[in-house]
Structure 1
Amino acid sequence: MLDFLRYTLERLPRFWKRVILISFDAVALIVALWASYALRYAVWMPVITEERVFLALIAPVIAIPIFIRMGLYRAVIRYLPDTAIWTILRAMGIATMIWIIVVFLMEMAGRGIVPRSVPFFFFAIGTALIGGARFAAKVVLSHGTGMRRDEQPVFIYGTSSSSVQLAMALRGNGNRFVVGLLDEDPTNHGRDVGGYRVYNPANLPRLIEQYGAQEIILSLSSISADRRKSVISSISGLGVKIRTVPDITDLVDGRYLANQIREIEIDELLGRSFVPPDPALLGGILEGRTIMVTGAGGSIGSELCRLIVQWKPKKLVLFEANEFALYKIDRELQGLKHCEVVPVLGSITNEPRVRETIRRHGVDVLYHAAAHKHVPLVEANALEGIENNVYGTMVVAKVAFEEDVADFVLISSDKAVRPTNVMGATKRWAELIVRHMALEAQRLGKNQHFCAVRFGNVLGSNGSVVPLFKQQIAQGGPVTVTNPDMRRYFMSIQEAAELIVQSSALSKGGDIFLLEMGEPVRIGDLAENMIRLAGFSVRGPENPQGGIEIKVTGSRPGEKLFEELFYDMANALQTQHPKILRADSTAIVHHNITEACDRLKAAMAVRDETAARTILFDFIGMAPGAKATEI
């Protein structure tokens, strides 16, 4: 009955809501005057006289216009602030004073005497009825059983001032309804903070069932990354969505809107420590220079472009073979107006187009991100993978060398270490090609730096398992994994871009930089965490009916159980950046890459995939001492 009444009232037009309020106030003031006489004479039914009826009727006639003038009917009862009690006191006080003047005039006219205590009773009882009714209605509409049918019950994890401000902000935004706060501190359990009850997170399963909560919002920006990871892990898998918000100080500083509650990203569970980028490294390599990025429309290339334009380069050249990808990143960057952005449509295997672009724009720094990276696709299309990844790199590096590009950076992969697939092998060849160009530059005394940056999987990149898992979860499953025991390195795409640029600033020529990727992640655990973060349970022996199933499809050709970042960890040297390691170039053996490329090119010319595969793998596997000394 109460829910039906509340549902009906909330959907009334604003005009009729005001009519109801005014009618209630009129009746309440008449009742207040009757109660004042009853208290004064200590009888339930005081004597009714013509004067008392007149005074009772005149009370709302006096008070209602004052209430209107002071805004008591403009306020939305559901969001009535506590400070409104002072407005009610002032309005009731003014109304009582005018009513007393009317009483005084009546007494002068000989129309009867009003006991002196009645005005005081009238003020007190009227204030209690007018104010009490409003705040009681606010409690019913905004707390406990006052949740609207279209609202989703949520808990906020945290009891800081930021958490309370977030709860207050949610009252007027969207359809979330805060049923309480969560805090591990036992001294806070059972207390009210900002008008919200504080609960023990250990009781969450019971609380979720009791309140029907569908979401938990984390307001824990001030705690450490490890502690945050622990909290997320402890509450995931309860069948509710887990979201988070930035620090409330960001709202004050204008850096986000109050309704920017976002989903927990999977990288927040990876436990990676954050190291702020070094402005000196970024500015030194980018500011005032002409930068070219190949594969500018890809996931890594586009993120590099977004980072580069923030550092005021002289010009940014976007080189991309995919027309739509080039259009998207060009349109995005042109809107920023940070520097001149030049879109160039072309393939990295087209030497005249590459040379024309570098020469026309006077490129100073070149980031080579263009590559075919999807392992199964490259495995099934080996000749195309070799053509793009090996000869495309050879073309871009050779032209950059001949056109005196000062800094050349190859974006490599952890799959280049002891590769078992075509994609990884082509990336290893690309590394050796870049090192060969660096040695040539050193031999000729040219002030050019050629280097490669090697790292693992990037969350959210094209071909990454994370977007695939998200799509499968959104469709209700199953989530497909080739082997749940596979382990992969992951980092965020923004961190990868920052570290790539900083690595290039550290290059001395011929370097292979290795980005510190933390601990490898088990793919089965990644899938389970993503399912739980989405608010679902994992279907299995303990939960055979509900949840989302994880389906094992079996390893694909060329896939390794474990990826590696190093041939030999002993040859990794520290740099001034804690997340960037450098290969000890003195320990790297020399490969005759020119002769190997000629043999590979001959096999490619006759489209002999078997011979091309043999040359591809034999060269990097049979090089003297490769397994012992390479990094």
Structure 2
Amino acid sequence: MRKALFNRNFFIMLALDALLLAASWLLSYGLRFELQVPEKFLDEMVFLLPAVVLVQLACLYAFDVYRGMWRFTSVGDLLNILKALALSTLIVVLLAVLIYRFRNVPRSVVFINFCIGVLAVSGSRLAIRLFFQKYVPSNPVPSLGVSPKPSEGHRPAAPPRRLLIIGAGSCGEKILREIRDNRQLNYEVVGFLDDNPGKIGKKIHGVMVRSIIADLPFVARKTEADEVLIAIPSANASEMRRIVDVCKHAGVRYRTVPAYGELINGHVSIKAAREVAYRDLIGRKTVQLDERMIAAHLAGKKVLVTGAGGSIGSELCRQILRFGAGSLVLFERSESSLFEIETELKSEAAQTVIPVLGDICDTRHLDEVFRGYAPEVVYHAAAYKHVPMLERHPWKAIENNILGTWNLVRACNAHGVERFVLVSTDKAVRPANVMGASKRLAEMITLNQNLCRVGETRYLAVRFGNVIGSAGSVVPVFQKQIEKGGPVTVTHPEATRFFMTIREAAQLILQAAAMGGEGGEIFILDMGTPVKIVDMARDLIRLSGFEPDVDIKIEFSGLRPGEKLSEELLTADEHLMPTAHPKIFKLNATACDLALLNGRLAELTALMDKKDANAIRLKLKEIVPDYQPAREMEKTPWATPT
């Protein structure tokens, strides 16, 4: 630490401050006596000079003024200078009283010296900051005033891109400051647009708020803007749609700052800017969480997440660490996915992150993991989820979604886990496919541990719909089809689905888990209004700059085996109850004969080993009466004929 502080820059700034403060003391006398200092004051002026300067330098050091990086001078740094010189002035007054009893030391000189000293020292820091902003690139400078030599063949930087910022609020102001502080971003902000008439014509750090958002095409032409940044994190879906339409009409590239819920710790940065995505247009408001409740549930706890490398699992991991979990075990069977989420979390989190490459179907390994890491809370997000794939391979749904869950439940009971949270799906309600039936059976296995008083672990399930942007979801599929020029294939013109963002789903799962009471409950997330898949396809085509059915065709392929026109969130015999959170509802699961259920699981296991697809469907129908198998059961080369 000593070596880091006492470097060349420290001594340069110390010498500069000494000169400025000495000049300030002498100038104070000059101003007091109109540049004609009486002879009787000269001795005290010269005698006190070194003492005054040393006291001021010591106070500046004590207030950490010399630890600041002056290219990033802030209001906090200037306040430290003010406090340091105020304290030094009091000490100088005390010295003058003790030594001279304030004779031949004019009181006004002390006050003038304080004012000039603050201006001189603060001004030097601001001058350094302005110099670096204007002349020195952001990346690394070896020492004060010495910039790296350009390499041979160095090409001059490209001219900065001219940027218009939509939104003259705090977010837009922070973006402007970041661009000015970091010249390597290579942007020049040429104006703001805002619909608040009181802001039109005003300036933010010298940049004018030029007009309302609807005038973007005119303003973009006038300023020769290359790009537009939408800096309104609080914008709702209708506002975003309107702004996007204006940007398209203007014919300039546009990007957006993410919503506040997506920003890490709420910090706004131009580096977080991204292309406008479909999730910005679906009309879902930012989730309001009871963060105290979630933190109380997770703070200091040892947590294990299965499927930690998946779309939902990885976001759960980020949020779990954000809410203060003591340690986190990442249980994942995909080597690449596990490596990616481990690398990300370890670079950002202070807590212990433990990657485990494993499979929930491996009971021996599960037992070793639970014995070795003793998790207190388990989030089970590992599952097969692709409906058509599991219709072709139903034994895999049995192995992973059902028996894998059963293995986890037994491990939790054996090792005294406090709470187990199953991530379920709306496809478990009156299932029409193997995937939905397997998740319904996973719910039954999980919740009946509490309903039948097995062990001390509290079990609950969280049921929700489709997640936008998750691996294999419809949005990435449509985007790839659009990139290829179409056609975009939709199953049915009337098909609808519930949608929410990955982050929203993960946050509501944590909220529901924190609300879990005695166990045996299913929590249902408010999915909002179902969205027509064909409307989603049209929105994505327009978002890509094309017109549906003109530039990109939409074709209807028909419902695939196991698919329904619409999804439901609860069955007829399930009764929804409100909770303390407006977006979360609760229903109590129906108890069943656990011994009978265990026997049927043994029968399912035998059919799984035989890869008997039709028999598996019939057995699932027997266990889950609401299950309506797809009429079209495609024969597979592995199926045992019946």
TM-score range, shorter chain: 0.5 to 0.7
343-352 or 587-596, larger mean C-alpha shift: 587-596
Identity %: 40
- 1:116 is matched with none
Q: Distance in 1 between matches of 2:209 and 2:378?
A: 57
The counterpart of 1:447, out of the listed 450, 456, 461, is: 456
**Cα offsets for 1:143-184 (capped at 9, x unmatched):** xxxxx9977776543455765775787686767676765455
- 1:18 is matched with none
Contact kept, 8 Å, 2:203 with 2:209, in 1: the verdict is yes
Q: Distance in 2 between matches of 1:190 and 1:283?
A: 45
Q: Does 1:413 align with 2:425?
A: yes
Contact kept, 8 Å, 2:237 with 2:282, in 1: the verdict is no
- 2:316 is matched with 304
The counterpart of 2:246, out of the listed 232, 235, 248, is: 235
Q: Does 1:582 align with 2:586?
A: yes
Q: Distance in 1 between matches of 2:325 and 2:553?
A: 48
Change over 3 Å in CA distance of 1:550–1:337 after alignment to 2: same
Matched position secondary structure for 1:463: coil
The counterpart of 1:595, out of the listed 592, 595, 599, is: 599
Q: Distance in 2 between matches of 1:161 and 1:448?
A: 46
Q: Distance in 2 between matches of 1:394 and 1:278?
A: 31
Deviation at 1:227, TM superposition (A): 5.5
Q: Distance in 1 between matches of 2:298 and 2:436?
A: 29
279-288 or 418-427, larger mean C-alpha shift: 279-288
Deviation at 1:407, TM superposition (A): 0.9
**Cα offsets for 1:316-335 (capped at 9, x unmatched):** 22222222222222222333
**Cα offsets for 1:460-511 (capped at 9, x unmatched):** 2211222333344445444433335322222221222222122222222111
Matched position secondary structure for 2:624: helix
Amino acid at match of 1:157: I
Change over 3 Å in CA distance of 1:528–1:355 after alignment to 2: same
Q: Distance in 1 between matches of 2:235 and 2:163?
A: 24
Contact kept, 8 Å, 1:312 with 1:338, in 2: the verdict is no
- 1:492 is matched with 501
Change over 3 Å in CA distance of 1:295–1:192 after alignment to 2: closer
Amino acid at match of 1:609: A
Q: Distance in 2 between matches of 1:337 and 1:190?
A: 44
Q: Distance in 2 between matches of 1:235 and 1:217?
A: 13
Q: Does 1:604 align with 2:608?
A: yes
Change over 3 Å in CA distance of 1:283–1:208 after alignment to 2: closer
Q: Distance in 1 between matches of 2:191 and 2:394?
A: 57
Q: Does 1:528 align with 2:542?
A: no
Deviation at 1:288, TM superposition (A): 2.3
Matched position secondary structure for 2:413: helix
Q: Distance in 1 between matches of 2:237 and 2:400?
A: 41
Q: Distance in 1 between matches of 2:299 and 2:483?
A: 42
**Cα offsets for 1:62-81 (capped at 9, x unmatched):** xxxxxxxxxxxxxxxxxxxx
Q: TM-score, normalised by structure 1?
A: 0.64
Q: Distance in 1 between matches of 2:485 and 2:247?
A: 18
Contact kept, 8 Å, 2:306 with 2:381, in 1: the verdict is yes
Q: TM-score, normalised by structure 2?
A: 0.63
Deviation at 1:621, TM superposition (A): 2.1
Contact kept, 8 Å, 1:219 with 1:247, in 2: the verdict is no
Contact kept, 8 Å, 1:162 with 1:247, in 2: the verdict is no
**Number of aligned residue pairs:** 463
- 2:400 is matched with 388
**Cα offsets for 1:180-218 (capped at 9, x unmatched):** 654556788899996658456556677778998775432
Amino acid at match of 1:344: V
Change over 3 Å in CA distance of 1:501–1:195 after alignment to 2: closer
Change over 3 Å in CA distance of 1:160–1:364 after alignment to 2: closer
Contact kept, 8 Å, 1:236 with 1:533, in 2: the verdict is no
Greater C-alpha Rg: 1
Structure 1 residue runs of 5 or longer lacking an equivalent are 1-147, 624-631
The counterpart of 2:559, out of the listed 546, 555, 578, is: 555
Contact kept, 8 Å, 1:485 with 1:522, in 2: the verdict is yes
Q: Pairwise mapping of residues 232-271 of structure 1 onto structure 2 (< 5 A)? A: 232=243, 234-235=245-246, 238=249, 241-245=253-257, 255-258=267-270, 260-271=272-283
Q: Distance in 1 between matches of 2:283 and 2:383?
A: 29
Deviation at 1:432, TM superposition (A): 0.6
Change over 3 Å in CA distance of 1:481–1:435 after alignment to 2: same
Contact kept, 8 Å, 1:538 with 1:550, in 2: the verdict is no
Amino acid at match of 1:225: N
Contact kept, 8 Å, 2:481 with 2:487, in 1: the verdict is yes
Contact kept, 8 Å, 2:398 with 2:605, in 1: the verdict is no
Change over 3 Å in CA distance of 1:149–1:479 after alignment to 2: farther
**Cα offsets for 1:313-352 (capped at 9, x unmatched):** 3332222222222222222233345222222222111111
- 1:225 is matched with 236
Change over 3 Å in CA distance of 1:522–1:216 after alignment to 2: farther
Contact kept, 8 Å, 2:421 with 2:461, in 1: the verdict is yes
- 1:363 is matched with 375
Q: Does 1:617 align with 2:617?
A: no
Matched position secondary structure for 2:577: strand
The counterpart of 1:468, out of the listed 458, 477, 485, is: 477
Contact kept, 8 Å, 2:413 with 2:456, in 1: the verdict is no
**Cα offsets for 1:4-35 (capped at 9, x unmatched):** xxxxxxxxxxxxxxxxxxxxxxxxxxxxxxxx
